Amino acid sequence: MSVFSTPAILLRRTDYGDFDIITTFFTLRRGKLSLIAKSAKKSTKRFGGILELFSVLEVVGSTGRGKGLPVLQEAALKQPFEAIRSDFRKTAYASYWAELVHNWVEDNYRQVPLYHLLIHVLSALDNSRTPEAVLHLLFQMRLLALTGYRPGLNSCSRCRTALEDMGREKVTVDLQRGGILCPACAPASTSRMSLARGTIKQLLWLESGPFAKAARIKFNPEALAEGTEFLEAFVLYHLGRPPRSLKFLRQIRKEQG
């Protein structure tokens, strides 16, 4: 039997049988990993109600010689993020981010920068120090960059004309090509989505700027709306399947304004 320990974020939990729980973590040292917590529903002493979504824990697991899931032996709570789970809107955002990581990341593939990104946005969401909508844009831009699906926003996806050389205030976006199009190339596209040049520059800063400074970017309502529409559409197109949590997130945003 091999035993391991790693910090981990709980992405998903599923009841298994009468007493067990299958937990899926995004871990610092082992990437995405599913473990079975045996008798977790039967014994409150073993995990003491700490297996809550989005929580950061130090987990201890063990793997045997067979092909079964690793077993969750111990878990210690490091960051509970209770404010997220007590607020429907925060829960909606966190659920979407967690589902993107769950669906996009391969099992047992270590991704340290992405782990720290998810920790950062969950922490900022929990303590409300940054607007939720800005964190939403920041997470998606950096997730796309880290997973190799970075949208091409610096230059035309067809002829490579630089953004600075495009004369129009509104720039066409082509999801299939994965980026923007200059005015000369835009008529050949079937896309009906567009972004203001100012919005594009702010999105690029969110992608590359330091976390602390990026969080202080001031988006006007129009820029937030079009940036959100673009990134959610871009993620949906390139992920290939609609995240279940996106419908819930959009419903909450619509109800709360």
The pLDDT value recorded for residue 158 is 94
Domains of the chain listed by start with CATH number: 2-80 (2.40.50.140), 90-256 (1.20.1440.120)
Q: pLDDT tens for residues 88-139?
A: 999 999 999 999 999 999 999 999 999 999 999 999 999 998 999 999 999 9
- The burial class, CB within 10 Å (0-12 / 13-18 / 19+), for 165 is exposed
Give the per-residue SS3 of 190-246: CCCEEEEHHHHHHHHHHHHCCHHHHCCCCCCHHHHHHHHHHHHHHHHHHHCCCCHHH
The pLDDT value recorded for residue 231 is 97
Single-letter amino acid, residue 144:
L
User: Is the C-alpha dihedral spanning 242, 243, 247, 253 positive or negative?
Assistant: negative
Residues in the chain, overall count = 257
Q: What's phi and psi for 158, nearest 5 deg?
A: -100, -60
Mind giving me the DSSP string for 132-187? HHHHHHHHHHHHHHHTT---B-SB-TTT--BGGG---SEEEEETTTTEEE-TTTGG
pLDDT higher than 80, residue 1 = no
Per cent of the chain over pLDDT 70 is 99
The pLDDT value recorded for residue 32 is 97
Q: Quick one: average pLDDT of 224-228? A: 96
pLDDT higher than 80, residue 147 = yes
Residue pair 10/97 in contact by the 8 Å Cβ criterion: no
The pLDDT value recorded for residue 218 is 87
**Bridge partner list, 71:** 36, 62
Q: Quick one: average pLDDT of 193-207? A: 95
pTM value surpassing 0.85:
yes
